[in-house]
Chains A and B, each alone.
Chain A
Amino acid sequence: MQAIKNAVRNDVEIRNVIKKFGSTTVLNGIDLEVRQGELLTLLGPSGCGKTTTLNLIAGFLEADEGDVYIKGKNVTHIPPYKRDLGMVFQTYSLFPHMTIYENLDFGLKLRKVAKADKERRIDSALHLVKMSGLEHRYPRELSGGQRQRVAIARALVVEPELLLLDEPLSNLDAKLRHELRVEIKRLQKEIGVTTIFVTHDQEEALSLSDRVVVMNGGKIEQISSPTTIYNHPETEFVFQFIGKSNCFHGTVTATDSQKISVQLEDGWGTFVDADNVMGADRTCRTGDQVKLYIRPEKLFITPSDQAQPGPFHKATITQMNYLGASWEIDVALIGKPVQILTPMYDASWQIGKEVMIGWNPSDIMLIKK
């Protein structure tokens, strides 16, 4: 039964939704499908419309145009309390005048769940988030991380159609954030509830999601798996928003089905994989002015006296920062600043020293200017 559903169903469908606040268009024609059982992240800078999208699914906002479907049912004009969802908020939002038990009981009472069943469900929900034994505490008596665990249990105990998470980790410190992130991922896979997670933190999005939706300016830029989002971004925005990047300018000198040759503005050239063209039509022609992007950790660095195959270029070290697990090395490549991230270290690397840097043609992304 479950398997059949998995194969065909979209739990959420958003069709051409437009939302305006006054004269500002916050969502400008959004189309989105959330597959059954997946964890989908809405990622983007503040003001990109990710929270608005979540609020449309939750029912706190109504679309000006377009439709929202949950499990095949058009819910565009249905209020949140009739949608049967679970939601976790940034500010925990536990009812301060109720014990943990009463908080979890709130949704069950409204669903008129029988008493014995209720106790079993509350027990197992608290067990799931490792909060057993704290039923009679008040939210005030819990730490931030504990409160968010209870909030997750409260959202799950009603066995909702969807689980919505609105930046649930942003109020926690770094260590707790990581711990709870792992926990959420485990829980989601264990229960299999379709989950929509809103965040502005790219690391969170990449590590948690089955698919990531990158949004910008009220539009969806790309919907892909985390690895595709990181390694093969479709737009310049996605490349720049996720991770760090180095940028070069150049002109296309030749193309074939496999490779594109680019002459950089300083005279030297490089190849780029034909698959790595970003932008709307994902093609380019000879003579096009282009920008090349490469991530700092995709650049190799070697001492300058070692001969290397492939495209290697001379550069001068301008800055070295030790980050514990890796080194962040700034170099000047023909006068241009370039950042390199490498786990290796060579004692000869010092500020002012010359090194060779190189890259793989498959790691460079290209976009037409």
Chain B
Amino acid sequence: MESVRHYAHQEVTQESPLNPKQETEPEKGSQRKKKKTYVPGLLLLLPILLFIFGFFVVPMLYILYLSFIYTDSPTATNAVFSLKNYMLFFSDSYYLSSLWITVKVSLYTVLVSLLLGYPVALTMAKSSPRVRGYIALLIAAPLLVSIVVRNFGWYLLLLPNGTINSVLASLGIIDSPLKLLFSEIGVIIGLSNAYLPFMILAIATSLYNIDPSLERASAILGASPLRSFFSVTLPLSLPGIVSGCVLVFSMSMSAYVTPALMGGANVPMMPVVAYDQINNLLRWTFGSALSYVLLATTMIMVTVFTRGFEKSKFREVFR
């Protein structure tokens, strides 16, 4: 199950039309050198193609197959091929609310990391390459610390008697401790913290690509810096915003460690529930159905989101 969870977002990001620049550039290169590198290129790709086929495509298909197998109990031998796992999922309010919580927490995570990340990306884009490098280093630094360690770090801050509650209480702002941990807020804090670097780097990349003379053109035509930002910079950074949002959303949807540690039983997000089904209840086939519902939800939402932008009045930016 761990592997499914991991690959789920990768598949989504591969299939979604993310940053168009990144996709077209290698294409150009291969067109130029097509005749020379075409056959050796395929040979070079063969090992990874075999690896992905053997350890990703086949297991995914097997899990898809399992999700259609229904048994009364883990030990029963009367397995039948049916839609019953899916029907069970959609008829039980516990699982539906789990899906809803997963989507809700992921959307909030996207929102928080977008609002926190955009100003950082903008600062990076306006800085000299040297300062930009330092900021990138600072942003990437938390990625070097294990996610488990980071979550336990949050415990110290967020527990009822943790730093934040103690400070707020001693300032007289709150009477009783806020429920920051083992709540949706806790998971949103943890996930935003973990995925913020991806949002920042995605947006910064698209900001770097904006011709700096566009802001000058806007200023000389009479637009104040604020007006220039909303009329020129923000719309032109939409590709970065969209790819950052897609990245953070699909990673949040499939996150396991942070929801498990920061949310616990109070925030039953889909990956946690699926893990529970498979590992603790040994309901392999139902767990498989859960992961496919999660995967389908993520893919549909991401597709609708990106297509929506590509068909919007800003479609020109995505070409």
Residues of chain A whose beta carbon lies under 8 Å from any beta carbon of chain B? 58-60, 79-87, 89-91, 93-98, 106-107, 110-111, 138, 140, 154-155, 158, 164
Contact A93 B222 (CB under 8 A): no
Chain A CB within 8 A of B175 CB: no
Within 8 A of A (CB), among B11-62: none
Interface string of B219-236 (1 = CB under 8 A from A): 111111101100110011
Residues A89 and B216 in contact in the complex (CB < 8 Å), given A97-B235, A106-B221: yes
Contact B216 A80 (CB under 8 A): yes
B316 to chain A, nearest CB (A): 5
| 15 extra interface residue pairs, beta carbon distance < 8 Å, beyond A81-B227, A106-B223 | A60-B216, A80-B220, A81-B223, A82-B222, A84-B222, A86-B220, A87-B220, A93-B211, A95-B217, A95-B232, A97-B236, A97-B316, A106-B231, A107-B221, A111-B222
Within 8 A of A (CB), among B59-76: none
CA distance A107 to B27 in the complex (A): 38
Residues A93 and B213 in contact in the complex (CB < 8 Å), given A80-B219, A80-B220, A158-B222: yes
Interface residues on B, range: 20 to 34
CA distance A157 to B142 in the complex (A): 51
Taking CB atoms, residues of chain A closer than 8 Å to B222 are 81-82, 84, 107, 110-111, 158
A116 to chain B, nearest CB (A): 20
Q: Which of B218, B221, B227, B314 contacts A158 (CB 8 A)?
A: B221
CA distance A60 to B214 in the complex (A): 13
Residues of chain B whose beta carbon lies under 8 Å from any beta carbon of chain A? 211, 213-214, 216-225, 227-228, 231-232, 235-236, 314, 316-317, 319
Contact A96 B236 (CB under 8 A): yes
CA distance A311 to B222 in the complex (A): 61
Q: Which of A79, A97, A138, A154 contacts B221 (CB 8 A)?
A: A154
A115 to chain B, nearest CB (A): 18
B49 to chain A, nearest CB (A): 35
A140 to chain B, nearest CB (A): 6
Residues A58 and B317 in contact in the complex (CB < 8 Å), given A91-B211, A93-B214: no
Taking CB atoms, residues of chain A closer than 8 Å to B217 are 87, 89, 93-95, 154
Taking CB atoms, residues of chain A closer than 8 Å to B216 are 58, 60, 80, 87, 89, 93
